[in-house]
């Protein structure tokens, strides 16, 4: 009995966020809306899709997705419409582009460059450090040490 309750809780929690008045009567449209919603991030919950979120903006996005589908938009057109309106941050899996690749590569690249610079800096001998003391400096040092 406990296993059944846990199964229902863990499997059905995503469907609890979608309210009955949002569900489309056309099963094909509803399935498309669900597949699109799985790829859209709730802007309040951050790393949760809009189907799993109870936030107001998630509800608005679910309704918007269903309206666009009813108007005849394809899945790609719906995603493009929402991305144009809310930015690429709304996508749970961002599109591969030059800017995204640059963001992903820049962190490790700067770490590597910093490591090379640090390594080179520690390997270079600094002539001002390795100079010997002049005769005047030796005399002054001896005076200081004797005090």
Confidence of residue 46 (pLDDT cuts 50, 70, 90): confident
137 in the same domain as 78:
no
Task: Select the highest-mean-pLDDT range: 23-37, 77-91, 92-106.
Answer: 77-91
State how many domains the chain has.
2
- Mean model confidence pLDDT for the chain: 83
Residue 16: what pLDDT? 52
CB 14 within 8 A of CB 45: no
Domain that holds residue 47: 2-90
Beta-carbon count within 10 A of 40 CB:
24
pLDDT of residue 17: 64
This prediction's pTM: 0.60
**Token couple for 123:** 């390997």
* 133 in the same domain as 79: no
Query: Which of 63, 61, 132, 125 has its CA nearest to residue 90?
Result: 61
pLDDT higher than threshold 70 for residue 96: yes
Residues 36 and 74 in one domain: yes
Q: Give the per-residue pLDDT at 19.
A: 66
């Amino acid at each position: 009995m406990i296993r059944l309750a846990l199964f229902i809780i863990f499997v059905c929690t995503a469907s609890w966020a979608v309210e009955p008045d949002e569900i489309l009567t056309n099963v094909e449209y509803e399935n498309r809306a669900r597949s699109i919603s799985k790829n859209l991030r709730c802007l309040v919950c951050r790393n949760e899709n809009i189907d799993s979120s109870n936030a107001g903006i998630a509800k608005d996005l679910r309704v918007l997705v269903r309206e666009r589908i009813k108007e005849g938009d394809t899945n790609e057109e719906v995603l493009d419409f929402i991305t144009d309106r809310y930015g690429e941050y709304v996508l749970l899996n961002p599109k591969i582009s030059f800017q995204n690749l640059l963001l992903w590569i820049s962190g490790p690249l700067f770490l590597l460059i910093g490591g090379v610079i640090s390594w080179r800096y520690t390997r270079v001998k600094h002539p001002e450090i390795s100079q010997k003391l002049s005769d005047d400096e030796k005399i002054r040092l001896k005076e200081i040490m004797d005090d």
